[in-house]
């Protein structure tokens, strides 16, 4: 492995802060209890396992590579609204009912907390970390900036996020750029490989094989929230 030419002091700090933030925002204990025995509870449990797996493999990537997003960046969210699979919308709805009940009730009426955003309606310009539903965020938000994809030949490839600062890329030896790197190049530079998004997404799609389509967050979340709240109020 080729060593980094500079140990970035911000990387361990950001990694610890992000881990603490995730653990404090991922409580679904009450909603799991209410939905016990339902099909929704089964999907939520499997989603929780997939999200936990992402956190696990990313933690290993961050630890070995030191390659993390700059603290408080959020530029990838500013003009981006994610589209959600049914299972992602279900998990987000459950997280909101568990952690932000008042916001959930407003969303059922179609009222998002930041409706004027061009991108995600949960992106908070004023907050330090910007995401107001961090524990309930979907796959793309968990992967963005810290995952690899596959080439047409099926090989792992990695490209640094387009928002990643040039000065931070320049701190690596060899000098990095916003180009695509092969699996062997990534392994040589970082000594580790990032998780591959498609590998986990395949498992997510298998949770509801009858409906593999996704919908924009604003379109799908209110109805899923209404449905889930109705079920949880019945049991």
pLDDT tens string 123-135: 999 998 899 999 9
Cβ distance 138 to 88 under 8 Å?
Answer: yes
Q: Is the pLDDT of residue 78 over 70?
A: yes
What average pLDDT does this structure show over 42-58? 93
DSSP 207: T
Match 């929780």 to its residue by tokens: 48
Which are the contacts of 49, defined by CB distance < 8 A and separation ≥ 6? none
**How many domains are there within the chain?**
1
Percent of the chain clearing pLDDT 90 (strictly above): 60
pLDDT score of 19: 38
Answer whether residue 73 is part of any domain: yes
- Asked if 214 and 84 touch (Cβ cutoff 8 Å), the reply is yes
Lookup: tokens for 80? 């981006």
pLDDT at 67: 83
Domain annotation covers residue 167: no
| Residue with tokens 């040589």, as numbered in its chain | 188
Answer yes or no: is pLDDT of 139 > 50: yes
pTM given for the model = 0.85
**pLDDT tens-digit readout, 85-113:** 999 999 999 999 999 999 999 999 999 99
Q: Does 11 map to a domain?
A: no
Containing structural domain, residue 224: 28-146+195-234
- pLDDT category, 46, cuts 50, 70, 90? very high
The reported pLDDT for the residue numbered 173 is 80
Q: What percent of the chain has pLDDT over 70?
A: 89
Q: Which of 8-17, 39-48, 126-135, 198-207 has the lowest mean pLDDT?
A: 8-17
Is the previous residue joined to 45 through a cis bond, with omega within 30 degrees of 0? no
Q: Name residues whose C-beta falls within 8 Å of residue 152's C-beta, 6 or more positions apart in sequence.
A: none
Q: Which of 197, 81, 77 is nearest to 146 (CA)?
A: 197
**SS3 call for 158:** strand
């Amino acid at each position: 492995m080729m060593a980094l030419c500079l140990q970035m002091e911000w990387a361990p700090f950001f990694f610890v802060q992000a881990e603490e933030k995730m653990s404090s925002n991922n409580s679904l204990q009450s909603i799991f209890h209410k939905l016990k025995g339902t099909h929704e509870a089964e999907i939520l449990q499997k989603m929780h396992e997939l999200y936990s797996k992402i956190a696990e493999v990313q933690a290993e990537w961050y630890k070995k590579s030191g390659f993390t997003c700059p603290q408080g960046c959020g530029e990838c969210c500013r003009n981006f609204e994610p589209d959600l699979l049914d299972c992602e919308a279900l998990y987000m709805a459950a997280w909101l009912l568990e952690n932000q009940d008042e916001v959930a009730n407003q969303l059922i009426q179609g009222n998002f907390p930041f409706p004027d955003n061009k991108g995600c309606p949960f992106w908070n310009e004023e907050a330090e970390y910007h995401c107001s539903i961090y524990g309930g965020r979907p796959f793309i938000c968990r992967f963005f900036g810290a995952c690899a994809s596959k080439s047409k030949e099926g090989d792992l490839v990695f490209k640094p996020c387009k928002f990643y600062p040039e000065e931070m890329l320049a701190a690596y030896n060899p000098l990095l750029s916003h180009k695509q790197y092969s699996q062997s190049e990534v392994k040589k530079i970082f000594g580790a490989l990032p998780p591959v998004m498609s590998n986990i997404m395949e498992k997510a799609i298998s949770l509801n094989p009858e409906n593999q389509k996704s919908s924009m967050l604003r379109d799908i979340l209110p109805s899923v929230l209404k449905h889930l709240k109705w079920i949880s109020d019945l049991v």
